[in-house]
């Protein structure tokens, strides 16, 4: 995906607003990624990743947190094998080649992402760094025997922001369907409130200053072998049976 130069330093992610009783999807929030961190590169733009166990800062390919067949029957071992072993690994390999010998070579993924976001001449590095980060975060957003009830601290926040757990899940499902083409849906913490946002291609919500709690990959490679074009069925099954509310709750603080 190429970004037009007109969008240089000024990019947008589409924001799906709170769900309860009629969502106002399609609003936009803008950000200027590089500008936002100028002068304070050490600022914790990725507070969700301060949780040591879940930190996705490595440029390498972290091991899957479960076996390739552990998410069956919702996500098959074949899908997971290709998704992790070909797609995720591919982004890691591309990134390694792209940053070799550059100022980005020894930086954490988070720093690469914030320093390349919105820069037209760094699109390839941004895309591969963000896709590497997104996939590591996605694997941790799922777990065998997931779904069900969130931990109390998260459930209270969900109910305060969406009205009910069901409304939150409906907002995530609706955003997944509204994402045209490839992208991601996210549950995020924004100024104390939970929101559902979607991003296109490799884009991440962190560069807009919101903290991701969990994500679902809605690129076709995430579900096509198992669900063909039925993205809604994939997302519904993930939300009911795999979503890792414990991970999301852990990312609140």
Residues that bind Mn ion (CB under 5 A): 217, 219
Three-state secondary structure of the chain: CCCCHHHCCCEEEEEECCCCCCCCCCEEEEECHHHHHCCCCCCCCCHHHCCHHHCCCCCCCCCCCCCCCCCCCCCCHHHHHHHHHHHHHHHHHHHHHHHCCCCCCCCCHHHHHHHHCCCHHHHHHHHHHHHHHHHHHHHHHECCCCCCCCCHHHHHHHHHHHCCHHHHHHHHHHHHHHCCCCEEEEEEEECCEEEEEEEECCCCCHHHCCEEEEEEECCHHHCHHHHCCCHHHHHHHHHHHCECHHHHHHCCC
Q: How far is the CB of 144 from Mn ion (least distance, A)?
A: 19
Of 81, 63, 62, residue with least CA distance to 71? 81
Q: How far is the CB of 10 from Mn ion (least distance, A)?
A: 26
Q: How far is the CB of 138 from Mn ion (least distance, A)?
A: 7
Nearest residue (beta carbon) to Mn ion: 217
Q: How far is the CB of 91 from Mn ion (least distance, A)?
A: 9
110 or 217: whose CB is closer to Mn ion? 217
10 or 221: whose CB is closer to Mn ion? 221
Q: How far is the CB of 219 from Mn ion (least distance, A)?
A: 5
What gap in Å lies between CA 66 and CA 45, rounded to an integer? Answer: 28
150 or 212: whose CB is closer to Mn ion? 212
154 or 185: whose CB is closer to Mn ion? 185
117 or 222: whose CB is closer to Mn ion? 222
162 or 219: whose CB is closer to Mn ion? 219
Q: How far is the CB of 253 from Mn ion (least distance, A)?
A: 27
The answer to whether 185 and 134 are in contact (CB under 8 A) is: no
């Amino acid at each position: 995906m190429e970004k037009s130069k007109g969008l240089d330093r000024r990019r947008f992610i589409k924001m799906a607003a709170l769900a309860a009783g009629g969502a106002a999807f399609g609003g936009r929030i803008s950000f200027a990624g590089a500008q936002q961190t100028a002068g304070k590169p050490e600022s914790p733009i990725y507070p969700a990743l301060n949780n040591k166990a879940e930190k996705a800062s490595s440029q390498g390919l972290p091991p899957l947190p479960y076996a390739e067949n552990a998410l069956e029957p919702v996500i098959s071992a074949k899908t997971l094998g290709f998704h992790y072993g070909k797609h995720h690994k591919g982004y890691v390999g591309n990134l390694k080649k792209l940053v070799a010998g550059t100022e980005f070579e020894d930086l954490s993924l988070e720093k690469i992402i914030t320093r390349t976001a919105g820069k037209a001449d760094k699109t390839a590095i941004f895309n591969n760094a963000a896709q590497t980060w997104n996939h590591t975060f996605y694997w941790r957003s799922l777990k065998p025997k997931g779904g069900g009830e969130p931990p109390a601290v998260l459930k209270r926040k969900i109910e305060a922001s969406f009205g009910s757990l069901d409304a939150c899940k409906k907002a995530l499902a609706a955003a997944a369907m509204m994402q045209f083409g490839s992208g991601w849906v996210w549950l995020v913490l924004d100024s104390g409130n939970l929101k559902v946002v979607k991003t296109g291609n490799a884009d991440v919500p962190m560069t807009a200053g919101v903290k991701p709690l969990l994500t679902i990959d809605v690129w076709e490679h995430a579900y096509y072998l198992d669900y063909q074009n039925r993205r809604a069925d994939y997302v519904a099954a993930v939300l009911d049976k795999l979503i890792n509310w414990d991970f999301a709750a852990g990312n609140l603080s």
